[in-house]
Structures are given as structure tokens and as C-alpha cells.
Chains A and B, each alone.
Chain A
Amino acid sequence: MPSPRYWREIPSRYRLEATRCGNCGRVSHPPRGVCPACCGTDAQNLELSHEGKVVTFTVVHVPPGDFLMEAPYVLAVVETPEGARMMIQVADCDPASVEIGMPVALEFRLIRKEGKSGILCYGHKAVPAYPRGEEEGADLESREMEVAHA
């Protein structure tokens, strides 16, 4: 990917910036100046919350070149509480455990190493969301370790 394009897409990828149509309320991610539902041009900026639920999904066994080392991986359409929908991977779980309606948290992650030069491309992935206090022990420990390292 040409680096100007990567740079342009940083606000929606890194910060989950989106727009809400001032006319009909439709939320678009990435942001849009013209509402796809009503053609309205009163676009208001918002940042999406880092949670959502799975709308539909697949387990990709035959991936594109940059994702060869990742397969099999889960790709899903996830809807946030604001009503925005995005297509992202679901990570940190057994692919067979993913189901429609499953609650997820959105975390900032490395998405791909691009091309022969291996340029690092970041964005968000979904991970299973556990209600507070019910998180699996091992997961909790590894999360705490990640936080400690950060």
C-alpha cells in the first residue's frame, strides 16, 4: 500500500473515528462526508466505543499472501453500540468458539506485515469480551503481563 494512503487512513484505523449523519442519524465508519442512507451532508464526528457484537463471520483457510502465516483466522462483521459496522478479525480465541451475537472488545493490534519489505500496518481486532470478574484465569494473567510490559 502506498504510504500516503496508509497515513490518510490513520484516524479511522487507529482511533476508530466515525461520522453520524445530522439528518438521519446513520453512523459511518470510516467517516463519510455524504450520508449513504439519506445523502445528508451534516456529518458530525464521533469516536466509536471499543466494543461490539459479531453480526456474521467466516474462518479463512485460504488467505491472501500477507496473511499466509495467520490462517486459519476469523474475519467478522462487528457492530458497535453506536450502530457502526466494520469488517475486522476476531483474535485470541478458538475459531470454532465464535458465533453470531458474540460480544467482543476492540483492541489496537498489528494487522499485517505488508509485501516483501514487511511494512507494519496497524488497526483494530476484536477479542472475546468477558463480563467483569468472569475472565478466564490464564487470559487475565497474560493481560496483566501485557499491561506491565506496556
Chain B
Amino acid sequence: MRDVAIVAAGMTRFGELWGASLRDLFVEAAREALINAGADQLDAIYVGNMSAGQFVGQEHLGPLLADHLGMAGVPAIRIESACASGGVALRTAFLEVASGASDIVLAAGVEKMNDGADVTEILATASDQETEVYNGATFPGLYAMIARAHMEKHGTTEEDLAWVSVKNHRHGALNDHAQFPRELTLDQVMGSAPVSEPLRLLHCSPVSDGAAAVILCPLDQASRYTDRPVVIRGTGMATGSMALADRADISFLDAVALAGGRAFEMAGIGPAEVDVAEVHDCFSIAEICCVEALGLAPMGEGRHCARTGETAIGGRLPVNTSGGLKSKGHPVGATGIAQAVELFEQLSGTAGARQVPDAEFGLAQNMGGTGASSVVHILQAV
């Protein structure tokens, strides 16, 4: 396989963007990436999107988005793996370039969630309709059951959960693309309305519109587009049980651990060598479970990381320097690509006030549903 680099990135602001349609969002992010690369043609387009059919009544996104980008004729494919759609689009684009089949590929993600549809019910379609949703499950409810199991097994507290939100908002306050670029206090999080116990409103990522895009090419052609490429050293994907009830340990995300292990093996590094990570904090408990499953913190110790500052900018291993899904926003299909955009900035030294000094290796972990699918990428500065 060829070495593959990310050579440019583009991203819309995340938020309730009532004036922008799904196609507007995609075109804005993709155009920015193309302009940054100075590229005027593509060999292929992959677009991560969870559910445009339900959110805005639009399927067949490949040709629609290629057409609106002025790229009709280019192969264009929509990738779906619920909230991991963006990460899986990146992986698919990577494999196409690594294989030698294509030389310049756009990996994008887009979701338009604020358009009048019932978001709670649409998101719930990423869990098991027959055994979970039938009996009244919601996404916050499912993650709340993971949180309760984690509390039982590892002694995690509501305050541990709240610190994840406080830490990520501290980071997001420095990101002008974030939906909620402001800090929160522990009391604000602990006093917010219960959504599904023990999760409160400020433990939950928001409903967001947005798009993100990166351009991939073989490393030996990267100098045509940039003098600061970032190399994709490893990719790993895994699936796990769809229904929570089918998991031996409900507090452990085994697909995340499998995907991480595969990405580390391919990259030839271990968790100790990661300098900056973006993990899928759709709910505060998810960040705790993910840093443990990825080996970024010992099992049962993930709950302390945000409070002690270990995972804050300036700490041992900064996690979610972008603000994470919580503060930056979570347009579900765009999230996996937005994580890659943050790492591209961190590893090319262009992250501004959020910059982690001398970051060499970055890890991005994206997951679908309650972790039934997960994809991990390891990036390296060159």
C-alpha cells in the first residue's frame, strides 16, 4: 500500500444553521478544502452521512453533491455507519488512495439535523429498533445505561461525568467553528435538567448542522498541494453487538478497543506515543469509556482524567482539543471528518490557541450508535 497524506481541510461552522441547506454545507466545506489544496479536479468523492433521507428527505447524495460542487462526472459515494459515517468515509478514501486506484480523493461528511424532523426518533434508528426502541429507548437513555453500568463497576460519579463537559467546553471556547464556544462551570453542568438519569442536558452533545472535508493524495505527491502534509499511519474499524443487552460488559466498548488495536498495529505505535486525540464524546460517559478502551487511560481510571487536567490542553494527553462533540457540535455524519480536520491542524502546527506543542502523533476515534461500529485513525506530522 502507498503512504497516504491529508493535504488540505475545510469546515463550516457547526450550529443551528437555518439559512443553509445540506448541499450548501457540503459545498462550503469541500470548496474550502479544494481551494486550500489548489486542486481543481478529483478522482473520487466519499461523503459520510447518517440519515439525510430522514432528516431532510434526500437520498442519492453522491451525484447530488458532486453536481453541486461542479464535479459531475466524478465517482461519488455516500457512506453510512450512523455517527461513524464520517470516519468510515475517511477510511474508505484512504484505502482507495493507498491501493493506487486514485491519486486525489475528497473525504467529506455532512449532516443537516435542524430542518424540522424529529431528531430523537431519527437518531434512535442507529440502535436496535426491534429490541430497544420498541420499549422506549432513546440515545441518551442507552448511554445512561452504559454510565450506570460504569458507575457500578468502576465507581464513576456524576461529578466525573460533569468534568468531561467542563473540560471540553474550555477547549471549545477557543474554537471559532464551535456551536457553543463558551466555558461551563461544574455547577452549571451538575444543575442542568435530567435527560435520562444519570445524564443531564449538559452531558449531551447538541443537535447540529455542519460539514467538514479533507483531501487525500499519495505522500509522494503531497508537495503539489502543501508543504505541511499529515500522514495517515493507521486505520482500524470494528463492529460489536448492536443491542446493549447482548454485551457481556455493558460498560466496555469492545468495538472501540478492537478498532484502536488494529489502527495501532498498522501504525506501529502504542497508546503512550499519542500526543493529541479526538474521541467520540457524544455523551460525557462516552469519552471516559473510549479513553479506557483505546488504552489512553488504564481501565477504571478514565473517570479521573478530565478532573485532574490530564486530558486538558497542557496536560499529559490532550483529548478533544476542538471542544469535542459536546462543545464543537455533532452533525453526526460530519463528526468523523471534523475530528480529522482538528488533527490536521494540530499536526501541521496551525491550531492557534488550541495548539498542542510539538504534537507528532494524533488519534481520531469515531463511533456509531452505542459503539456498535467504531473507526480509529492514527495520523503523523511529517
Contact = CB atoms under 8 A, between A and B. Distances in A.
Interface of A: 1, 9, 13, 28, 30, 36, 55-67, 70, 73, 75-77, 85-89, 95, 100, 111-112, 121, 123
Interface in B141-180: 141, 144-146, 148-149, 152
A84 to B, nearest CB: 9
Interface residues of B, number: 34
A89 B141 CA distance: 12
A26 B130 CA distance: 20
A64 B132 CA distance: 12
A56 B195 contact: no
A58 B145 contact: yes
A121 B138 CA distance: 18
Nearest to B140: A62
Nearest to B124: A64
Given A64-B136, A77-B145, 18 more contacts: A1-B134, A56-B145, A56-B152, A56-B250, A58-B148, A58-B198, A60-B196, A61-B194, A62-B140, A65-B120, A67-B136, A70-B136, A85-B246, A87-B132, A87-B243, A88-B135, A112-B134, A123-B135
A75 B130 contact: no
Contact of A58 (B121, B133, B197, B241): B197
9 contacts: A36-B246, A55-B245, A55-B250, A64-B136, A65-B118, A86-B131, A95-B197, A111-B134, A123-B134
Nearest to A125: B135
B134 A57 contact: no
Contacts of B136: 60, 63-64, 66-67, 70, 73, 75, 89, 111-112
Interface of A, secondary structure class, is strand
Contacts of B131: 30, 86-87
Contacts of A1: 134
Contact of A100 (B120, B121, B138, B148): B148
A97 B62 CA distance: 51
B246 A75 contact: no
A74 to B, nearest CB: 9
A58 B243 CA distance: 16
A74 B148 CA distance: 13
A67 B245 CA distance: 21
Contacts of A76: 145
A57 B145 contact: yes
B137 interface: yes
A66 B121 CA distance: 10
A36 B243 CA distance: 12
A66 B244 CA distance: 22
A61 B130 contact: no
A17 to B, nearest CB: 13
B35 interface: no
B121 A65 contact: yes
Interface string B235-257: 00000010111100010000000
Given A56-B152, A61-B193, A61-B196, A111 B135 contact: yes
Interface in B263-282: none
Contact of A89 (B135, B144, B250): B135
Contacts of A56: 145-146, 148-149, 152, 244, 250
A13 B135 CA distance: 11
B241 A36 contact: yes
A85 B132 CA distance: 12
Nearest to A96: B197
A63 B130 CA distance: 17
A81 to B, nearest CB: 15
Contacts of A123: 134-135
A75 B149 CA distance: 13
Nearest to A13: B134
A79 B140 CA distance: 22
A102 to B, nearest CB: 12
A14 B85 CA distance: 36
B147 to A, nearest CB: 8
Contact of A85 (B134, B149, B195, B245): B245
Contacts of B130: 9, 30
Contact of A62 (B133, B195, B241, B246): B195
B124 to A, nearest CB: 7
**Interface-central residue, B130, B132, B245, by most chain A CB under 10 Å:** B245
